[in-house]
Structure 1
Amino acid sequence: MDLASLEAFLAIADSGSFSGAGARLHLTQPAVSKRIAALEAQLGRRLFDRIGREVALTEAGHALLPRARRILSELDDTRRALDNLDARIDGRLSLATSHHIGLHRLPPLLRVFSRAHPGAALDLRFVDSEQAWAQVLHGQAELALTTLGPAAAPLRTVPVWDDPLEFVVAPDHPLAARGEVGLDELARHPAVLPDADTFTHRIVAGHFAAAGLAPTLRMTTNAMETLKMLASVGLAWTVLPHTMLDAQTTVLRVPGLRLARQLGHVTHAGRTLSNAARAFLAVLDGATG
C-alpha cells in the first residue's frame, strides 16, 4: 500500500472531512481525493461513505483504521531510530499540550528550545489533556505536556509541576465576604467546571463525593480562561490554578481541604524518542530542576 495514501486516509478519519485532511497534509482537496481513490482501487473496497459534506468510515474503513495507524506508527518509530544515529537535532517534534500549559508553562521552554535547536521543526497541537494522551497512545504525537491522571501501560508519565487549585468566586458573589466556606455551602451554589471526563473535574468531584455531596453544575467548559470569566462575572464558583489568580476573582478557603493536580509529560514506553524530543525533555529538566 502507498504510504501517502494511508496518511491521507488517517487524516480524513481524524478530521472528518477531505478538506480538513487537505489542511493537515498541506494538500488540495482534489489531491486528497485522488489518494483515497487510488487506495480504494488498490484494496478493492470503499473506505468512506460520502453523503453531502458528511464523511463516514465504511465497514472496510473501520477495519483498516487501526492497522493503518499501526503501520504509520511503526514507520515513524523506524525513522526516529535511524535519525537518532545522527547526533544532530534537526528532526520534527510533534508535541501535544493543553491550552492552560501552553499559555502558562510552555512559552519559556519553547524560547529556550528554539534558540538552542533552530533546526528542529516543532509540530505543536493545542488539545484537551485527555486528547493529548490519546494522541501519544496512537502515535499521532511523540510527547505530551498535560494534566496527569492515572497512568496505564504503554503510556509513561513523569510529574513536572505541582499545580495547586483554588475555589474562586467574583468579588461581589454572596460567598466572597465569607472567605472561608464548607463544601456543603459550595454545593448549594451553582458551579462551572471542566467536563466530567477531565482529570480536573474528577479531582474536584472526588472531594465532594467523599463528603456525600455533588457540585451543582450550571455548565461545563474545558477552557480555564472561560471558567475564570464565568466566575468573575458572578455566574458561579469555579476552581482555578494559582497561576491564574488576580483581582477579578476572590479565593474561598475550605478548611482541611487542599486541591492540587500534577502537570507533566507523557510518552509512549514502546516507541523511540527522537533526538528533538530528548532535547526538549532536557530543556524541561533544566528549567524545573
Structure 2
Amino acid sequence: MDIKWLKTFIIASKYENFRQTSEELFLTQPAVTKHIKRLEETLNIQLFERLGKKVILTPAGHKYLSYAREILSKYEQGVEDFESWKQGYNRKLIIAAAPQIASSILPSILRGFMDENPYLEVLIKVLKSYEIGEEVSAGNADIGLTRILPMQTNIKSHIVHKESVLLVAPNECKETSTLDEQTILHKYRLITHNHPDYWDNLLDHIKRHYPTVKNMRVDQVEVTKRFIEEGLGVSYLPATVVKDEMDRNKLIEIKPCNIIPPTSFTYVLTKVETDEVVTFITFLKEALNKW
C-alpha cells in the first residue's frame, strides 16, 4: 500500500469531488482516480460510489476513513520523529506564541535556552493570542505565551511578566517644539488594536480627554511600528515591543499627562507540565527578571 493513496483518499472524502482533490494535492484527475482505484483493489472493496461527476463514500469508505487517518498520522509523526533523531534531538518542545512576544522578547530568550539544551528540539507556532489557549488545550502545543487570559478551563495560566505600555511616536517628533501628549494626539492618528487586551478601555479613556482624536485600526504590531516610523501615526505599545526601535532612535516615547497607560501582561499557558515544559518556564522566568 502506498501512503500517497491514503492521503488522496482522505482528501477525496473531504470534498467528495475528484477535481477539487486534484487541485489541493496538485495532481491530475486521472492520477487521483488511479490512487483511489489502487487502494480499492488493495482492500478488495469499493470506497466511493460514482454518481456522474460526484463521488460519495460507501459504508466501507466511511468505516475505513478513521483507519486511514490514523495510519497517515502515525506515518507522518514517525517521519517527523526520525528526522529529529537524525538531527541529534532526543526531546521536543512545541511553543505557541503571540506575534508581539515572538517578535520581541522570545528570540533572545530562545537563543540562550537552546544553547543550554542542544538536544531539545524547539518548534514555534506564531498564532493570534486568542488561538493559543485552544492550541494548548488541544495538546497541539506544550506551552503557550500570550497577552490575554485563556477561556479554556482545562489549562493552567499564570503571569510571568508585567511591563509598562508607552505612547510612542516617530523620531521626526523631535523637531517639534512641544512634545507633550496633547499635541501629539492632535497632530497624529492614533493607531489602535495592535494589542489583544487593553485597547477597548484605553480608547474610551483617551476619547474622554481628546474627543477629536483620529484613530486607525491596525491589528499587527510589526505593521504598527512601521507605520509609526513613517509618520503615519502614534500608538500605545508594550515597552519590550518597541525597545529595539527606541534604542535605534526610530521611535521616541511621549510622557503621559492625562492618559494613564495600562500594564501589559505576559501569560504562560500549560496543560501537562513535562520536564521540558518545567525547564523552559524556569529559564523564561529567570530571563525575564533581567529585562
Match of 1:229 in 2: 226
- Partners in 2 of 1:143 and 1:156 — Cα distance? 10
Is the partner of 2:231 in helix, strand or coil? coil
Could you tell me which amino acid in structure 1 is paired with residue 226 of structure 2?
Answer: M
Say which of 250, 254, 262 aligns to 2:265. Answer: 262
| Residue 240 in structure 1 maps to residue 237 in structure 2 | yes
Match of 2:197 in 1: 199
With 226-235 and 242-251 compared, the bigger mean Cα shift is at: 242-251
Q: CA deviation at 1:189?
A: 4.3
In structure 2, the CA distance between the partners of 1:112 and 1:237, relative to structure 1 (3 Å rule), is: closer
Alignment of 1:104-119 (within 5 A): 104-119=104-119
- Partners in 2 of 1:107 and 1:261 — Cα distance? 19
1:50-72 superposed Cα distances (whole Å, 9 cap, x missing partner): 278479xxxx9xxx99xx9xxx9
Say which of 199, 217, 229 aligns to 2:215. Answer: 217
Q: CA deviation at 1:162?
A: 1.2
How many positions carry a matched residue from both structures?
A: 224
- Partners in 1 of 2:175 and 2:216 — Cα distance? 17
Match of 2:6 in 1: 35
Could you tell me which amino acid in structure 2 is paired with residue 262 of structure 1?
Answer: F
Match of 1:252 in 2: 254
In structure 2, the CA distance between the partners of 1:53 and 1:167, relative to structure 1 (3 Å rule), is: farther
1:189-211 superposed Cα distances (whole Å, 9 cap, x missing partner): 42223458x22534533534676
Match of 2:35 in 1: none
Whether the aligned pair in 2 keeps the contact of 1:90 and 1:121 (CA below 8 Å) is yes
Whether the aligned pair in 2 keeps the contact of 1:109 and 1:287 (CA below 8 Å) is yes
Match of 1:16 in 2: none
Is the partner of 1:250 in helix, strand or coil? strand
- Partners in 2 of 1:283 and 1:99 — Cα distance? 20
Could you tell me which amino acid in structure 1 is paired with residue 231 of structure 2?
Answer: G
In structure 2, the CA distance between the partners of 1:150 and 1:135, relative to structure 1 (3 Å rule), is: closer
Q: CA deviation at 1:227?
A: 1.2
1:160-189 superposed Cα distances (whole Å, 9 cap, x missing partner): 111211112224359954333259x83784
- Partners in 1 of 2:107 and 2:190 — Cα distance? 30
Question: RMSD in angstroms over aligned alpha carbons?
Answer: 4.1
Whether the aligned pair in 1 keeps the contact of 2:130 and 2:148 (CA below 8 Å) is no
Match of 2:95 in 1: 95
Q: Which has the larger radius of gyration?
A: 2
In structure 2, the CA distance between the partners of 1:213 and 1:283, relative to structure 1 (3 Å rule), is: same
- Identify the structure with bigger relative contact order (alpha carbons < 8 Å, sequence gap 6+): 1
1:63-86 superposed Cα distances (whole Å, 9 cap, x missing partner): x99xx9xxx9xxx9xxxxxxxxxx
- Partners in 2 of 1:151 and 1:225 — Cα distance? 26
- Partners in 1 of 2:9 and 2:114 — Cα distance? 39
Whether the aligned pair in 1 keeps the contact of 2:133 and 2:152 (CA below 8 Å) is no
In structure 2, the CA distance between the partners of 1:175 and 1:252, relative to structure 1 (3 Å rule), is: farther
Q: CA deviation at 1:147?
A: 1.3
In structure 2, the CA distance between the partners of 1:132 and 1:248, relative to structure 1 (3 Å rule), is: same
- Partners in 1 of 2:213 and 2:22 — Cα distance? 42
Q: Which runs of 5+ in 1 are unaligned?
A: 1-29, 77-88
**Bigger fraction of residues in helix:** 2
Whether the aligned pair in 1 keeps the contact of 2:228 and 2:234 (CA below 8 Å) is yes
Whether the aligned pair in 1 keeps the contact of 2:145 and 2:269 (CA below 8 Å) is yes
Match of 1:27 in 2: none
- Partners in 1 of 2:227 and 2:176 — Cα distance? 15
Q: CA deviation at 1:235?
A: 0.9
Match of 1:47 in 2: 14
- Partners in 2 of 1:214 and 1:276 — Cα distance? 51
Match of 2:280 in 1: 280
Could you tell me which amino acid in structure 1 is paired with residue 280 of structure 2?
Answer: F
Q: CA deviation at 1:143?
A: 0.7
Q: Which runs of 5+ in 2 are unaligned?
A: 26-56, 58-64, 78-88
Structure 1 length as normaliser, TM-score?
Answer: 0.61
- Partners in 2 of 1:187 and 1:147 — Cα distance? 29
Is the partner of 2:202 in helix, strand or coil? helix
